[in-house]
Structure 1
Amino acid sequence: MSGPRVHVITTGGTIASRPGPDGTVSVAVPGGDLVDMAGPQVTVEEAMLVHSFNLTLGQVLLIAGRVCAAARDPEVDGIVVTHGTDTMEETAYLVDLVLGPDRTVVFTGAQRHAAEPDGDGPRNIADALRVAAHAGPGLGAVVVMAGRLHAARHATKVHTTSPEAFDSPGHGPIGHVYGSQVHLAARPVRPDGFDLAELGTLDARVDIVPAYVGADGVHVAALRAAGARGLVVEALGAGNPTPGLLREIRTCVAAGIPVLVTSRCRQGPAMPVYGSGGGATLAEAGAVFAGSLTAPKARLLLAAALAAHHEPDRALSRLRPHLAL
């Protein structure tokens, strides 16, 4: 009897990299060479061979399109995407936004390149194949690294070199892989997302603005002048701006540019708590708080909503269910 049929989409990253003569590491391993054909029935599709720090939004949309096409194939039981770890959380989150409610897609990668004697890539691929084959439908996009499953909404790269590179700060993993067994502790809550066709080329410019001591808002003014259609503020603490940022954000909101507020803290939601120029004042000015979303994911969510709805009010209405988690 044949086992579950898993389709693997490869995109490059450290998992597909080897060192060159100059000592630097570059993508070099074709998709078909990455996957051990033992276990579930596996088909392999090489979407691209790039480092994830070089990805464009167009390429991320291409990956999402390949995933959605595989998800529509009745012959495919599970989907795995191999991906560089630098921006894996962003691609996984965008895929989660466009993936149907009854599907699971597993993202995995490696922190050690393919020529390392103790490389983590083969184990991560084996774990991802097990999750794709046996975890069941409806998880959406998940990241599987170092034997842990993280929901795309919360998965964040937290270490530059450790094999245990991903965590879900404030939430924890939703499951683990122990040998050949997949154990789920929870299933993600996934609000209705978007049809991929709604996003077009995802060309609505949305920028991230960091907050720091003395930030005067000049970067906000520059982004507004550059044509930003939306902004995400990575604010201080629970969601507090500096006086200069507050002044410029007020100008943005008055000009019809929606502003989402996240926190630069790794744990805890952004909430409008403090007055006197703090987060509560920011909310009064019309900024919208993004809950536990990180700034890169809030950027993708706002860009998707603005692509689907040109009017800022409709875009904000569309994305609000994703901010309440």
Structure 2
Amino acid sequence: MKKIIVIATGGTIAGSGEDGRTTEYRAGTIDVSDILETIPQINNLAEIEMVPLISVDSNEMNERYWIKLRNTINEQAKRPDVDGIVITHGTDTIEETAYFLNLTIATEKPVVLTGAMRPATATSPDGPFNLFQAIALAANEKAHDCGVMCLFSSTIYSARNIAKTNNHKIDAFGLNEQAALGYMRDADVFITNHPTTKHTLHSKFCSKQFDVFPKVKMATYYAGSDTDILDALKHDCDGIVVIGTGSGNYSQAWMQKLDELAESGIVIVRSSRVPHSIVFDEQIFDPKNHFIGSNTLTPFKARILLMLCLTQTRNIEEIRNAFFRY
């Protein structure tokens, strides 16, 4: 029987509140091992070993926790008796954690993140079935070398392309113009696509040790926006992800200010506030070729990739290439 490590980090899946309600609950207050005990047939899937790591609302997740989680995954994945790893996580920032891990962990063993939209004390919570399927996915040979995955509502998502698209439905996740990796029916796994960008052991970041990260900040453009936010962000800053309109667009005043910041050494990535957007290099909004298009990455994932790139280089062309490869 396969051995699966379940790493608990908190979130709604381990949340509790008034019986039956889906709101007004506290995340990360229930032991995930208690949830496992409520799942029929779970012990027929795999031998499960719990690793409690942290217990937080996912809005408290940060780079320090990411490093701790990444190191724990690498540690557990080295064990010859371990076949796969499942992480329970809050849904609000799960896509960011998943993408960071996708770029930095050093294993081809299946790593699957899952969570819930309803707390464990709600009527018909969704967490137990998501956890059941995540464990089944991590124990399946088909899931090897697929990069970090997320499992929700019987859909297998790649860490790079998953995005939370709804804040109140169980089926709360979608994709950024990309197909899902596959789907599940109960414990059966159907992989229909494989990642085409570099991940895990194929990533240049997987062997690097991290302590602190360069500071990458974000600025959102809106109609009538002045450049004060850019002036405020430039202090103690290594990079800025601009969340523009349309294809990563902004005013002439913003373009001039961003050119100044780029010439001062701050690396600028252009992204978009539009869901399902693609941002390429653009002469109209970047005539001096100072900036980097985020490609199909969301602004939040663009920040993570830029942050990791800046641990190795400040060369614009090298970073630009990374946005196509990762």
TM-score (norm 1): 0.90
> Which residue pairs with 2:300 in the alignment?
296
- 1:158 paired with 2:165, answer yes
Structure-2 change in CA distance of 1:283 and 1:189 (3 Å):
farther
Distance 2:62 2:287 in 1: 32
> Which residue pairs with 1:57 in the alignment?
63
- 1:193 paired with 2:203, answer yes
- 1:89 paired with 2:95, answer yes
- 1:238 paired with 2:247, answer yes
- 1:173 paired with 2:166, answer no
The answer to whether the 8 A contact 2:250-2:285 is kept is no
- 1:12 paired with 2:10, answer yes
> Which residue pairs with 2:324 in the alignment?
323
Of 128, 138, 142 in structure 1, the residue corresponding to residue 134 of structure 2 is: 128
Structure-2 change in CA distance of 1:112 and 1:100 (3 Å):
same
> Which residue pairs with 1:260 in the alignment?
269
Distance 1:219 1:199 in 2: 33
Deviation at 1:150, TM superposition (A): 0.8
The answer to whether the 8 A contact 1:305-1:319 is kept is no
- SS at the partner of 2:91? coil
- 1:211 paired with 2:221, answer yes
Of 89, 92, 105 in structure 2, the residue corresponding to residue 99 of structure 1 is: 105
Distance 2:49 2:311 in 1: 33
Of 278, 294, 300 in structure 2, the residue corresponding to residue 269 of structure 1 is: 278
The 10-residue stretch of structure 1 (135-144 or 79-88) with the greater mean CA deviation from structure 2: 135-144
* Amino acid corresponding to residue 282 of structure 1 in structure 2: D
Structure-2 change in CA distance of 1:287 and 1:173 (3 Å):
same
- 1:118 paired with 2:118, answer no
Query: Hey, which bits of structure 1, 4+ residues long, moved more than 6 A?
Result: none
Q: Deviations over 1:28-73 (max 9, x none)?
A: 1123223245221111101111100112210122111111212222
Structure-2 change in CA distance of 1:318 and 1:102 (3 Å):
farther
The answer to whether the 8 A contact 1:83-1:107 is kept is yes
Deviation at 1:285, TM superposition (A): 4.3
Higher relative contact order, chain-length normalized (CA < 8 Å, sep 6+): 2
- SS at the partner of 2:208? helix
- SS at the partner of 2:234? helix
Distance 1:68 1:159 in 2: 32
Q: Deviations over 1:281-305 (max 9, x none)?
A: 3252400111000111111111111
Aligned residue pairs: how many?
314
The 10-residue stretch of structure 1 (53-62 or 251-260) with the greater mean CA deviation from structure 2: 53-62
Of 220, 223, 231 in structure 2, the residue corresponding to residue 221 of structure 1 is: 231
- SS at the partner of 1:18? coil
> Which residue pairs with 1:31 in the alignment?
32
- 1:287 paired with 2:291, answer yes
- SS at the partner of 1:209? strand
Q: What's the Cα RMSD here?
A: 2.1
- The alignment-based identity, stated in percent, is 25
Q: Deviations over 1:236-255 (max 9, x none)?
A: 11121222221211011101
The answer to whether the 8 A contact 1:31-1:45 is kept is no
* Amino acid corresponding to residue 33 of structure 2 in structure 1: G
Deviation at 1:202, TM superposition (A): 3.5
Q: Deviations over 1:106-133 (max 9, x none)?
A: 0000000000121000000011011101
* Amino acid corresponding to residue 9 of structure 2 in structure 1: T
> Which residue pairs with 2:315 in the alignment?
313
The answer to whether the 8 A contact 1:241-1:282 is kept is no
TM-score (norm 2): 0.90
The answer to whether the 8 A contact 1:229-1:257 is kept is yes
- SS at the partner of 1:304? helix
- SS at the partner of 1:125? helix
Distance 1:196 1:272 in 2: 27
Structure-2 change in CA distance of 1:239 and 1:324 (3 Å):
farther
Structure 1: runs of 5+ lacking an equivalent: none
